[in-house]
Structure 1
Amino acid sequence: MDITLEKASDTNASLKITLTPADYKPEVDKKLKDYGRKVQLKGFRPGHVPASLVQKMYGKSILVDEINSMLSRTVSQYIRENKLQVVGDPVPNREQADAIDWDNQTDFAFSYTLGLASEFNIDFAELPSVTRYEIQAGETEVSNTIADLQQRFHGHAHGEEVGETDTIYGELVQTSTPESGEPFSAKTAFPMDKMAEDAKGQFVGKKKGDVISFVLEQAFPDEKARANATGVKKEEAAALTGEFNFTIDDITRHEPAELNQEFFDKVLGAGAVEDEAQFRTKVAEVIRGNYAREADQLLRLDIEKNLIDNTPILLPDEFLKNWLLEVNEGKFTPEQIDEQYDDFTKSVKLQLIKNKIAENADIKVEFDEVLDATRQMVREQFGFMGSENEEMDKTIDRIARNYLMDEKNNGQNYTSTFNRVYDDKVIEYAKTQLTIVSQEVTVDEFKALVENR
Structure 2
Amino acid sequence: MATVTRENIGLLNDKITVKVSQEDYLPNFDKAVKQFSKSANIPGFRKGMVPAGMVKKMHGPALFADEVLKTVEKELTGYLQNEKLEIFAQPISMDKEAKNLDFNQPSEYAFDFEVGLKPAFEVSPLESGKTSLTKYKIKATEKEVDEEVSRLQLKGGKMNEPEVIDNEDNVLSITFEESDAQGNVVEGGIKKDNSLLLKFFSPAIQEQLKGKKKDDSIVFQLANSFDEERLGMILKDLGFDEHDKEAAQKYFKLTLTKLGLIEKRELNEEFFKEVYPNEEITTEAAFREKLKSEIEKYWESESRNRLHNELFEVLVHETPIELPKDFLKRWLQTGSEKPKTAEEAEKEYPNFDHQLRWTLISDKLIRDNKLDVSFEELKESAKQKLLGYYGAGAALEGADWLDSYLDRLMQDEKFVDQTYREMVTQKLFDWAETKVDLKEEEITAEEFAKLPHKHHHHEHE
TM-score with structure 2 setting the length:
0.68
Q: Kindly tell me: are residues 152 and 452 of structure 1, through their superposed partners in 2, closer, same or farther at Cα, counting changes over 3 Å?
A: farther
Match of 1:125 in 2: 127
Q: Relative to structure 2, which stretch is displaced further, 130-139 or 283-292? A: 130-139
**Cα distance, 1:95 vs structure 2:** 2.6
- State whether structure 2 residue 140 is matched by structure 1 residue 109: no
1:445 is matched with which residue: 444, 447, 450? 447
Match of 1:393 in 2: 403
Q: Relative to structure 2, which stretch is displaced further, 107-116 or 38-47? A: 38-47
Alpha-carbon distance in structure 1 between the residues aligned to 2:85 and 2:371: 19
What do the CA deviations read for 1:425-448 (whole angstroms, capped 9, x no partner)?
A: 54455445x235251432233323
Match of 1:13 in 2: 14
Match of 2:358 in 1: 350
- State whether structure 2 residue 271 is matched by structure 1 residue 268: no
Kept in 2, the 8 Å contact 1:136–1:440? The answer is: no
Alpha-carbon distance in structure 2 between the residues aligned to 1:422 and 1:76: 31
Q: How does 1:355-366 map to 2 (within 5 A)?
A: 355-362=363-370
SS in 2 for 1:282: helix
What do the CA deviations read for 1:377-411 (whole angstroms, capped 9, x no partner)?
A: 6665566765332333323433553x537xxxxxx
What do the CA deviations read for 1:126-182 (whole angstroms, capped 9, x no partner)?
A: 54244443333233333333233233233445646433654699xxxxxxxxxxxxx
What do the CA deviations read for 1:60-82 (whole angstroms, capped 9, x no partner)?
A: 32332234344445545544554
Which amino acid in 2 is paired with 1:348? L
- State whether structure 2 residue 410 is matched by structure 1 residue 404: no
Q: Kindly tell me: are residues 159 and 111 of structure 1, through their superposed partners in 2, closer, same or farther at Cα, counting changes over 3 Å?
A: same
**Cα distance, 1:289 vs structure 2:** 1.8
Q: Kindly tell me: are residues 312 and 74 of structure 1, through their superposed partners in 2, closer, same or farther at Cα, counting changes over 3 Å?
A: farther
SS in 1 for 2:45: coil
Match of 1:149 in 2: 152
Match of 1:36 in 2: 37
**Cα distance, 1:29 vs structure 2:** 3.9
**Cα distance, 1:13 vs structure 2:** 1.4
Q: Kindly tell me: are residues 429 and 78 of structure 1, through their superposed partners in 2, closer, same or farther at Cα, counting changes over 3 Å?
A: farther
Match of 2:240 in 1: none
Kept in 2, the 8 Å contact 1:132–1:437? The answer is: yes
Alpha-carbon distance in structure 2 between the residues aligned to 1:128 and 1:196: 46
Q: Kindly tell me: are residues 373 and 65 of structure 1, through their superposed partners in 2, closer, same or farther at Cα, counting changes over 3 Å?
A: farther
**Cα distance, 1:354 vs structure 2:** 1.9
SS in 2 for 1:24: helix
What do the CA deviations read for 1:16-50 (whole angstroms, capped 9, x no partner)?
A: 11223443344444433332322233343322223
Q: Relative to structure 2, which stretch is displaced further, 323-332 or 256-265? A: 323-332
- State whether structure 2 residue 319 is matched by structure 1 residue 311: yes
Q: Relative to structure 2, which stretch is displaced further, 324-333 or 14-23? A: 324-333
Q: RMSD in angstroms over aligned alpha carbons?
A: 4.4
Q: Kindly tell me: are residues 384 and 23 of structure 1, through their superposed partners in 2, closer, same or farther at Cα, counting changes over 3 Å?
A: farther
Match of 2:300 in 1: 292
**Cα distance, 1:284 vs structure 2:** 1.8
**Cα distance, 1:257 vs structure 2:** 3.0
Q: Relative to structure 2, which stretch is displaced further, 111-120 or 354-363? A: 354-363
TM-score with structure 1 setting the length:
0.69
SS in 2 for 1:6: strand
Alpha-carbon distance in structure 2 between the residues aligned to 1:369 and 1:78: 39
Which amino acid in 2 is paired with 1:10? L
**Structure 1: 5+ residue runs without aligned partners?**
170-189, 226-243, 406-412
- State whether structure 2 residue 138 is matched by structure 1 residue 135: yes
Taking only the aligned residue pairs, the percentage that are identical comes to 25
Which amino acid in 1 is paired with 2:310? D
Q: How does 1:129-208 map to 2 (within 5 A)?
A: 129-157=132-160, 159=162, 161-163=164-166, 166=170, 204-205=210-211
Which amino acid in 2 is paired with 1:92? S
Match of 1:173 in 2: none
Kept in 1, the 8 Å contact 2:32–2:63? The answer is: yes
**Structure 2: 5+ residue runs without aligned partners?**
174-193, 221-233, 238-254, 456-461
What do the CA deviations read for 1:310-343 (whole angstroms, capped 9, x no partner)?
A: 3211222233334334457576672x65455333
SS in 2 for 1:94: coil
Alpha-carbon distance in structure 2 between the residues aligned to 1:80 and 1:369: 34
Match of 1:254 in 2: 262
Alpha-carbon distance in structure 2 between the residues aligned to 1:310 and 1:191: 49
SS in 2 for 1:87: coil
SS in 1 for 2:111: strand
Q: Kindly tell me: are residues 438 and 280 of structure 1, through their superposed partners in 2, closer, same or farther at Cα, counting changes over 3 Å?
A: farther
Which amino acid in 1 is paired with 2:403? D
SS in 1 for 2:58: helix
Q: Kindly tell me: are residues 342 and 8 of structure 1, through their superposed partners in 2, closer, same or farther at Cα, counting changes over 3 Å?
A: same
SS in 2 for 1:110: strand
Q: How does 1:356-435 map to 2 (within 5 A)?
A: 356-362=364-370, 386=394, 387=396, 388-399=398-409, 401=411, 403-404=412-413, 419-420=421-422, 423-431=425-433, 434-435=435-436
Alpha-carbon distance in structure 2 between the residues aligned to 1:21 and 1:369: 55
What do the CA deviations read for 1:71-102 (whole angstroms, capped 9, x no partner)?
A: 44554554455454433542202335435445
Q: Kindly tell me: are residues 91 and 376 of structure 1, through their superposed partners in 2, closer, same or farther at Cα, counting changes over 3 Å?
A: farther
Q: Kindly tell me: are residues 139 and 312 of structure 1, through their superposed partners in 2, closer, same or farther at Cα, counting changes over 3 Å?
A: same
